[in-house]
């Protein structure tokens, strides 16, 4: 048995294929039932997001074919369409893969935080479907803890790598806390709208939406709990705004240097920050010459994003080192699990012998309850002390990679029966 990953992601497959292989919660439950119907796959976790579809499993050598055939069968996608995009990892590489995925080292946007929640949700869904056991429970818990460690010990998620969020981060650098700041969105371009949503999430006190089409402004203002204003009132609203995001399709400048000068006079020189995401630009570049006026256009934001990407790349080196360290720790634990069945069997055999001999002895003696309990405690302690040294040796052998050999020897020495580990997948040490 080994840990196996069969999947595809945004790097290996187009979105059209990922859409076809995406699983709903109901479909996932049916897949689990089929995956675990045979002994080829003992445990499974399905991770299905917009960027990846992956099946993690604790499986034997035939498990790979079983997973592949069920993926194709469940979604009705022919194998010739799926196989070129698939990757398959086993053992150490499989463990490394899930740790990297959970830590956002394998994401489309390096360091993005959403994936850890998606991994957690996938694990909880597998638990609900009773699809996991000792091995994958430990693997997924460890993946989540590795993700937490990466975010705690590195700055991989701290620098904004999207234009819209970079705009918000710059706003915070200028104003600090945004809770008492007023923002204005001019136009309804996608990136500007997203930046406005980020600002609302950061707690700006008020958002004003200005657009040529008032109904569109009203719709967006309602979504963002702001107010809608016609385009002709743009200049007068500049007086109130601390942060102005612009993204219109206008062929000429909408906000002139003269208009900003008038607004700044009424604002008594309080700072104002313009984020101009439009091409052609909405804000006259000359406004940056004015005191307490800050202006970033799409190129400026792009440079910020690129610089932040480079920072994340540097932090990813630290993150990869953490992953390597944690993979080795997990593999040590996994090796120890080779001997768990034989340890449990040996303990059970000794306990069975102890109990039978104790019952025989008690039947020939006239003991009160207190004396019976004392004898029970005595025989239990003796068995534990006798087993301590051999069990410690078995565990140490497992950590050295000799678990299978030693487990076989213990079985022969004590005539322990083989157990089907499928029936004991929830049994831990």
Residues tagged active-site: 50
SS3 state at 384 = helix
**345 contacts: CB under 8 Å, gap ≥ 6:** 411, 414, 416, 417, 419
Q: How far apart are CA 296 and CA 276, in angstroms?
A: 6
Are the C-beta atoms of residues 122 and 48 closer than 8 Å to each other? yes
Angle at the Cα of 290 (from 288 to 291), degrees rounded to 5?
Answer: 115
**For residue 305, what is the enclosing H or E element?**
helix 298-336
Tokens of 190: 């996608």
**For residue 379, what is the enclosing H or E element?**
helix 369-399
Are the C-beta atoms of residues 54 and 6 closer than 8 Å to each other? yes
Polymer length in residues for the chain: 429
| Helices 369-399/403-414 angle, 10° precision | 140
Instruction: Quickly tell me which residue has 């399709």 as its tokens.
Output: 249
Instruction: Quickly tell me which residue has 């819209």 as its tokens.
Output: 164
Helices first, then strands: H and E counts in the chain: 16, 10
């Amino acid at each position: 048995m080994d840990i196996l990953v069969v999947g595809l992601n945004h790097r290996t497959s187009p979105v059209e294929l990922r859409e076809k292989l995406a699983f709903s919660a109901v479909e996932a439950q049916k897949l689990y039932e089929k995956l675990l119907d045979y002994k080829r796959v003992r445990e499974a976790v399905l991770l299905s997001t917009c960027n990846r579809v992956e099946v993690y499993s604790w499986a034997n050598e035939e498990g790979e074919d079983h997973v592949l055939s069920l993926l194709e069968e469940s979604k009705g996608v022919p194998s010739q369409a799926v196989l070129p995009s698939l990757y398959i990892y086993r053992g150490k590489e499989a463990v490394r893969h899930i740790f990297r995925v959970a830590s956002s080292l394998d994401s489309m946007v390096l360091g993005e935080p959403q994936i850890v929640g998606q991994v957690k949700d996938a694990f909880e869904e597998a638990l609900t479907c009773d699809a996991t056991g000792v091995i994958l429970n430990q693997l997924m818990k460890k993946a989540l803890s590795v993700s937490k460690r990466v975010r705690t010990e590195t700055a991989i998620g701290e620098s904004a790598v999207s234009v819209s969020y970079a705009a918000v981060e710059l706003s915070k650098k200028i104003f600090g806390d945004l809770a008492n700041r007023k923002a204005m969105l001019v136009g309804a371009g996608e990136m500007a709208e997203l930046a406005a949503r980020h600002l609302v999430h950061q707690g700006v006190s008020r958002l004003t939406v200005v657009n040529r089409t008032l109904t569109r402004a009203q719709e967006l203002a309602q979504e963002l709990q702001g107010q809608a204003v016609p385009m002709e009132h743009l200049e007068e609203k500049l007086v109130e705004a601390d942060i102005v995001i612009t993204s219109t399709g206008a062929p000429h400048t909408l906000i002139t240097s003269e208009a900003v000068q008038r607004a700044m006079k009424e604002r008594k020189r309080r700072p104002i920050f313009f984020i101009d995401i439009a091409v052609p630009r909405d804000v006259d570049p000359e406004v940056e010459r004015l005191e307490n006026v800050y202006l970033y256009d799409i190129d400026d934001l792009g440079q910020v994003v690129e610089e932040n990407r480079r920072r994340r790349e540097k932090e990813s080196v630290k993150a990869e080192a953490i992953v390597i360290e944690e993979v080795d720790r997990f593999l040590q634990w996994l090796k120890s699990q080779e001997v768990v069945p034989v340890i449990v069997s040996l303990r059970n055999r000794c306990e069975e012998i102890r109990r039978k001999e104790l019952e025989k002895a008690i039947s020939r003696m006239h003991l009160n309850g207190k004396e019976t309990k004392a004898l029970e405690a005595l025989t239990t302690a003796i068995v534990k002390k006798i087993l301590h040294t051999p069990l410690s040796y078995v565990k140490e052998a497992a950590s050295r990679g000799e678990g299978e050999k030693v487990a076989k020897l213990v079985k022969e020495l004590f005539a322990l029966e083989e157990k089907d580990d499928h029936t004991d997948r929830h049994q831990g040490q």
